[in-house]
Amino acid sequence: MKLTRLSVICASLAALVLLQACERAPSKKGISTSDGFKESIRNMGGVAVIDDVVITRFPASGDQYVSIEFSLNAASYMLAATKQVLSDKGYTVDYELTPYVGAFVKIDTSSVKAASWSGKDTYRDKHHPKKPAKEKPKPTTMRVKNAEDGEAFESKPPFYMSKSIEGDSVYAAALFGFISSFPKFHDSFSANDTIRENLSVIGERIRAKYLLFSMAQGGSVSGAKSAAQGLFTGCLTGIASGGMVMVSVSTQSAMNSFVGLIDLDTKEMIWKNSMRFEGGDFTDKKFYSSKNWPRTLLYHLPPRGSK
């Protein structure tokens, strides 16, 4: 009996140690700040939030394609998670927008396949509780608004533009110019006149002093999919060398994600962080819960009024 009790105690202690290890603060490896960051963060109250997310699907059969549906879902989850974390840290979110899907993406071919929404092995089917258990899944289909035959269409980035900016061509162009240049020039905004002009237009439209911009590129791989090469460049090196590049296929689900806080008055990136996630379901809302994406990317963003 004593041995059994001792075993239970040891197991409990081991579980406690494991839990404490899991609760450790995320790494600061991807974080960098500007010289004036502490002063800026001390005065920051409200912030605008903009994101751009691209999710590529790798179905069990058929070709890979950019899922606009999955991308917009993920962008929506990311916005909600970002707003919650900022609120918890004492900030207010004055503006939010997902203007594009894939404005930052570079491709190594003339075009790639994209689909407005996806078929039977995707998010829609995992969340159909009334679906008969014996019903056999139909082959994956990709239906798009501009393809009568229901097949995926060839497209170049960006794969989608929000209707909310269609009526303001100047703002739409400024957003696209900023986001498409972001991976290459995120460390040198103040030295690039075009980007400064784009940020000035954005600042005027959103009426905010600070902008938190997030971008992510992920691949959702079917469990039955077999692949040999990687889809993504490394997040840190990819951004530093001019952007995330879509190439070939992937061995597992993965996501490169980057977040940056910009002072729209000085046109400076004052805080940034980046991370590569592997093996998760980046189409699932749970991934963007407080313990996953936002905890990793935004954990070390100081709370409001920090000294």
Could you tell me which of 152, 30, 156, 45 has the C-alpha nearest to residue 102? 156
With cut-offs at 50, 70 and 90, classify the pLDDT of residue 278: confident
pLDDT of 34 reads 85
CB 176 within 8 A of CB 103: yes
- C-alpha 177: how far from its chain's center? 19
* Parallel/antiparallel/unpaired status of strands 268-278 and 92-97: unpaired
Instruction: Find the range with the poorest average confidence among 97-101, 246-250, 253-257, 266-270.
Output: 246-250
Q: For position 113, what pLDDT does the model report?
A: 84
Between CA 303 and CA 92 the distance in angstroms is 11
When pLDDT is averaged across residues 86-97 and rounded to a whole number, the result is 93
Model confidence over 15-74: pLDDT tens digits?
433 444 445 777 788 888 888 888 888 888 899 999 999 988 877 666 788 889 889 999
- Per-residue pLDDT for 245 more than 90? no
The yes-or-no verdict on residue 206 having pLDDT over 60 is yes
List pLDDT tens digits, range 118-128: 554 333 333 33
Mean pLDDT of the chain: 74
**Who's near 128: CB < 8 A, 6+ residues apart?**
none
pLDDT value, residue 30: 80
Cβ atoms of 299 and 26 closer than 8 Å: yes
Q: Are strands 32-33 and 106-107 parallel, antiparallel or unpaired?
A: unpaired
Q: What is the DSSP letter of 280?
A: S
The answer on pLDDT for 166 being more than 80 is yes
Dump pLDDT digits (tens) for 168-178: 999 999 999 99
* pTM for the model: 0.75
Give backbone dihedrals phi and psi of 212, rounded to 5 degrees, phi first.
-105, 110
Q: Greater confidence, 283 or 12?
A: 283
Supply the pLDDT for residue 185: 64
What's the mean pLDDT in 241-252?
A: 44
Q: Which residues pair with 304 in a beta bridge?
A: none
**Per-residue DSSP letter, 143:** B
pLDDT, position 290: 65
Cα(238)–Cα(127) distance, rounded to whole angstroms? 34
CB 157 within 8 A of CB 114: no
Check pLDDT > 50 for residue 231.
no
Helical ranges in 106-168 per DSSP H: 123-126
